[in-house]
Chain A
């Protein structure tokens, strides 16, 4: 029946959207955490995600060359490698381009971040080549959720993996922020950096760790996107970064659950728009939704409303 096929198509788009949203959400957390703690838009964060994806591709190729083909082990090793290297990059970026500008006028770190973004993009382009990197499929196959006349609703293993891993990371992260001393230190620095320092919190280290954690999550997103799409190039950081930042702002910048919610929404909007309206304009949809939401609710969906202190 036609209606059933329509429903099936819709659900498929939904699944795709949720998967996409999970990826955006992981990147968005990096943006929102950094903004929360030093009020800065880390323009280079998209490039960090891109670096994670490239390390993943190189690692997979290396593992295949070494003959390690058991999928769960390969994915685990690739995640480890990607997180390790990407976190190091994230740490270095903060140290080199942002820490010296901690007390500078607000636009200086932004320009530095844009410069770092250009630097990283070109670094990867020069060292890895400008062409896209197609990876042979690592994980194929899917769960068949529903089978009907001429239509199959499927959840691929990769999609399932992404969603499960993301949910797990989210839970773990929320625990980290709310229950551990690191999380407390971070929240203190977000509220009042000077006071936190006076109370004995190592502010520099807390900020560095924030960047490292954001980079680690971006690395996971990079691995996921490599598995999901199978092809990457040095430009993916820009577009994904833009959308993830949009997601962070949509959810309310500075809010962790907001970042996830925003990511989910952007992913869904993109998938549904591409499926039902137009693939070419799908990026416009995400930005337009953002603008509409911000005009109506200037601090984002879950952001704390700002009361001016006069």
Chain B
């Protein structure tokens, strides 16, 4: 995969207005397969709105969301209803976890494989009669689910109701569910929220291994700097709906505009050493 190749997802001029409020203003972002792209910025910067426009929950006021699908060619996502965006391989998780709470973890992962299974069940007719083709397909789906459960250390709760699990486990189920759809681009909305440092580290490792093994593109909204700086290939910084910086983690770390956006105007005196050092550490909390 050369750098010269056109990126999988190219967002140009994305604008979203709610009445008089401009949540996103002419944003350009791109994301690619095998790359981890992070979108960061202060709260209220419009990051989740970008996701919602991308995945079809909002209709953008203006802009072009171009997906270069390997088999279906170029698709403009902003014209598609939400579920079609997912069918084109762009799958997301949510800030407030949205599992199917009274269904088991395994069932959640089976629902994720709905589209393929629906076809194999031939509008349920093959399923009703119990044809071999259907039964094989279902077995394969269970196996795929099992793979992801194993990978995310969820095998022991496969038959538990998803709503009964701990927060950390629910987050993992959401990721497992999204990966069960074999996405091209995995969009994660604050996946590290509410996780302790050890869990965050495990998440980072997981995302890196997904990138390595499956070549899935990952688009990440996140506040946890240790995660962002640790695994991102490219970072876009958004403030008040506008992009203010873009680059590698090193570049972003030392970008003045970013620092100003997060910390405000520097006081007369120099930035406190503690803070500067923290930023130098990639945002890791000092012990």
Task: Please give the residue numbers on chain A whose beta carbons come within 8 Å of chain B beta carbons, in ascending order.
Answer: 307-308, 310
Contact = CB atoms under 8 A, between A and B. Distances in A.
Contacts of A307: 18
A310 B48 contact: yes
A107 B6 CA distance: 51
Contacts of B94: 310
Nearest to B48: A310
Nearest to B98: A310
A310 B18 contact: no
Interface in B16-37: 18
A307 B57 CA distance: 10
Contacts of B48: 310
Nearest to B55: A310
B12 interface: no
Nearest to B57: A310
Interface string B51-86: 010000100000000000000000000000000000
6 contacts: A307-B18, A308-B57, A310-B48, A310-B52, A310-B57, A310-B94
Nearest to A308: B57
B100 to A, nearest CB: 15
Contacts of A310: 48, 52, 57, 94
A307 B59 CA distance: 11
B46 to A, nearest CB: 14
Contacts of A308: 57
Nearest to A309: B96
A309 to B, nearest CB: 9
A308 B55 CA distance: 14
A225 to B, nearest CB: 42
B90 to A, nearest CB: 15
Nearest to A307: B18
A107 to B, nearest CB: 15
A308 B18 CA distance: 12
B273 to A, nearest CB: 41
A62 to B, nearest CB: 55
Contacts of B57: 308, 310
A310 B58 CA distance: 10
A121 B94 CA distance: 47
Contacts of B52: 310
A310 B57 CA distance: 8
A43 to B, nearest CB: 26
A310 B50 CA distance: 12
- Top 6 closest A-B pairs, CB basis? A310-B57, A310-B52, A308-B57, A310-B94, A307-B18, A310-B48
B196 to A, nearest CB: 26
Nearest to B52: A310
A307 B48 CA distance: 14
B89 to A, nearest CB: 19
Contacts of B18: 307
A308 B59 CA distance: 12
Nearest to B18: A307
A307 B18 CA distance: 10
A101 B57 CA distance: 33
A310 B95 CA distance: 8
A307 B94 CA distance: 17
A299 to B, nearest CB: 16
Nearest to B189: A310
A88 to B, nearest CB: 40
Interface in B88-132: 94
A207 to B, nearest CB: 27
B3 to A, nearest CB: 33
B20 to A, nearest CB: 14
A211 B37 CA distance: 53
